[in-house]
Structure 1
Amino acid sequence: MVERVVVREVAALSGRALPLLRSWQAEQPECGVARALLVLQTSGGMSDEALKVELVAAFEAAQAAGAREASVVYGIFLYTHRQYPLAAEHLLAHFAQWPGDEAAALMLGAFSACTGPGYRQRGDALVEEQYALAGPESWPWAGWMAWTRVEQGRTEDAHQLAEHTLGLYPRSGVAAHARAHAEHEQGAGTAAIAFLDGWLAGDPQEPCSSGT
């Protein structure tokens, strides 16, 4: 499935994610999720008005595809408009209906972006729940779990999860960053930086025809 391939490249922080998103959107202009995910990756250079125009069109297209697709796009609308508490609440409801949704997980940063009490803890609990549901063989969720442990200051757990993730998929950028952060906190210093530099140097930049 094209969505799964592209979403996993985005989840991996891959250099070929954006070219793949552009290609997917060009080949399937009627796909609301493709259009919205491209906006999610490029929203930093867009005005609020341009965001609204693109995402309203994406939402209309997604509604024709189904409730799950419309929910993903609506979440992207809230996230890119910096409505982080609303986005976080929406994600909780979304995952209750569509557990393990990797496209929706690309907005997990909404929880840490909230200033209100309890949001970070609710986000952590959500990641733990979704990782348990997805299972240890899901490298995207394993990577997000590793990063959650980094943010919690649980460096040993973070390092173990990062190593597990990289064993499943060596190009997981989230896991690579989690490992580097954990090793830095453990006193690895230059070795942690060298590892991350090596990972970045090997980052693929060209679109691929198939995914993991």
Structure 2
Amino acid sequence: AQAKVLRAIEDGIIQRVGGTKSIEVDARILSATNKNLTEEIEKGNFREDLLHRLNVIPILVPPLRERPEDIPLLVKHFAQDISQKHKKVMPTFSEEALTLLQSFRWAGNIRELRNIVERIIILIDKKEISKKEIEFLIPYEKQDIGEMVDLSNSFQDFKGKAERAFIMKQLDANHWNISKTADSLNIQRSHLYNKMKKYDIVKGKT
């Protein structure tokens, strides 16, 4: 495949899959990678001559963990976009919440940040997202999200599992005091009781 790409770049000629006719093309190529291509060349996984052809004007985009100053702007952009998508009021993020988000390594870069913002907006119905909500939500996300997704049959099923886990963490943090937990969730006690009944949340039961 790399040889065919190199030939197309050098000669400006391609052939359709299954075709025999040569077609002249005049194209500009934008390519991206998250790998170190110099190392890939040394391993024999990438052609050096193809790299020289592609690497005419290199643009280095540092990973998100190296540009934490971008996170507040990205969070605001994602929050606006996701709130419109789910027809919800766009929340703001407190300074402490943004500082906490800036402290994470974000192995999944911008995609991971967007996923976290979407999960926060879906599960937390507040005008302002605080550090406290993120501290409860993100650890569960990083540890158990894969299993939760695998066990979910639909988006609603996944949302229910995630909401149940979040409520249980809030209950644990408030030593199962219903009034304090309802206040921290910004909902009525009766609403919390309904949620606990819906998700079969009982102290001592996981």
TM-score when normalising by structure 1? 0.26
More strand by share: 2
More helix by share: 1
Structure scoring higher RCO (CA < 8 A, sep ≥ 6) equals 1
Which protein is bigger by CA-based radius of gyration? 2
